[in-house]
């Protein structure tokens, strides 16, 4: 009987899973446990001559599990060393337990030495598999603060006000990236994405108060804040919070010599920015019309060089 495609050629590029624009493959720990249980059925084969029907269904399950693991699982790129022993084991199993069909002699007696040969081939495969799994790049993402890891990696928007993606949908990419960076201990990267999300909300807050046509041409956070303060628009407390984020966190981070040193520091920044975003969103009506008509606003002379 012809072997399946995986026994002839082992592709080394697995199909990527794209989650919200970020390439990430989640390892199912239960799958590895079930795989072990499925494959080790071989060790329980009888050691004497046995009718094919008595071992057929168990061995077909072993074939299926082996095929799925080597040819279809996300581990496939790291399993090239298993190609030859997997091919040999599959061929030996298939000669004893072919796929069900009218031509299969279910009553045929399978000699004990053939069954013992499967056990030997499986032992060889298992030894190589154990050594391979010990060197695969498998990592456990530890919990950060009080956050649920699955929320950080897959649903970061849940850590921000529910109205964020309704009122400022353009912030979605950055809040998702920021929380993933927290999960994977990339605090400086998390800070950059947090600031980008905050500034996206600030732009919408500014547009609501003064109109999009009145945006500062520089696009700098400091200029947005100064225009609103100069024209006495918006909540002064909110603007003070935004200025403190700019002065204490954003501006220093723009310098190559500065970085966020720890996840705890990034979490503290998240708390500050989350609060600022919440304040602004509460003051942005669903109606996109600005509070005042767009004005030809001018920047105060002393703020032009500020960020």
pLDDT(18) > 60: no
Q: CA torsion 112→32→17→10, rounded to 10°?
A: -30
**pLDDT tier for residue 24 given thresholds of 50, 70 and 90:** low
Q: What is the pLDDT of residues 59-113, one digit of tens each?
A: 999 999 998 888 888 788 888 888 889 989 999 999 999 999 999 999 999 999 9
**pLDDT tier for residue 255 given thresholds of 50, 70 and 90:** low
Q: What is the pLDDT of residue 176?
A: 94
Q: How far is CA 277 from the centre of its chain?
A: 24
pLDDT(4) > 60: no
What is the chain's mean pLDDT, rounded? 83
Q: What is the pLDDT of residue 32?
A: 85
Q: What is the pLDDT of residue 48?
A: 95
Cβ–Cβ under 8 Å, residues 179 and 153 = yes
Cβ–Cβ under 8 Å, residues 89 and 121 = yes
CA geometry: angle 170, 200, 283, nearest 5 deg: 105
Q: What is the pLDDT of residue 76?
A: 81
Cβ–Cβ under 8 Å, residues 164 and 171 = yes
Q: What is the pLDDT of residues 109-150, one digit of tens each?
A: 999 999 999 999 999 999 999 998 888 888 888 899 889 999
Entry pTM: 0.71
Q: What is the pLDDT of residue 1?
A: 38
Q: How far is CA 159 from the centre of its chain?
A: 16
Q: What is the pLDDT of residue 148?
A: 92
Q: What is the pLDDT of residue 23?
A: 55
Q: What is the pLDDT of residue 22?
A: 46
Q: What is the pLDDT of residues 163-174, one digit of tens each?
A: 999 999 999 999
């Amino acid at each position: 009987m012809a072997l399946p495609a995986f026994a002839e050629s082992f592709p080394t590029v697995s199909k990527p899973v794209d989650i919200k624009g970020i390439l990430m493959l989640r390892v199912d720990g239960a799958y590895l446990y079930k795989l072990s249980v499925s494959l080790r059925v071989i060790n329980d084969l009888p050691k004497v001559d046995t009718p094919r029907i008595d071992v057929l269904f168990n061995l077909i399950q072993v074939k299926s599990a082996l095929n799925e693991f080597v040819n279809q699982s996300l581990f496939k790129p790291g399993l090239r060393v298993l190609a030859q022993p997997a091919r040999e084991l599959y061929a030996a199993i298939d000669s004893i337990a072919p796929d069900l069909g009218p031509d299969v002699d279910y009553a045929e007696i399978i000699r004990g030495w053939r069954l013992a040969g499967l056990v030997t081939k499986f032992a060889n495969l298992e030894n190589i598999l154990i050594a391979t799994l010990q060197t695969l790049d498998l990592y456990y993402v530890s919990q950060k603060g009080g956050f649920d890891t699955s929320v950080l990696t897959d649903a970061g928007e849940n850590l921000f006000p529910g109205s964020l993606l309704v009122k400022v949908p353009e912030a979605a990419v950055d809040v998702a990236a920021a929380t993933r960076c927290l999960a994977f201990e990339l605090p400086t990267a998390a800070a950059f994405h947090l600031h980008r999300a905050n500034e996206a909300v600030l732009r919408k807050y500014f547009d609501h108060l003064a109109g999009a046509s009145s945006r500062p041409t520089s696009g700098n956070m400091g200029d947005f804040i100064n225009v609103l303060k100069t024209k006495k628009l918006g909540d002064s407390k909110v603007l003070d919070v935004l200025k403190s984020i700019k002065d204490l966190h954003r501006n220093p981070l723009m310098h190559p010599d500065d970085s966020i040193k720890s996840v705890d520091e990034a979490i503290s920044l998240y708390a500050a920015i989350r609060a600022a975003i919440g304040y602004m969103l509460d003051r942005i009506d669903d109606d996109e019309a600005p509070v005042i008509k767009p004005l030809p606003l001018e920047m105060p002379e002393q703020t032009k060089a500020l960020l």
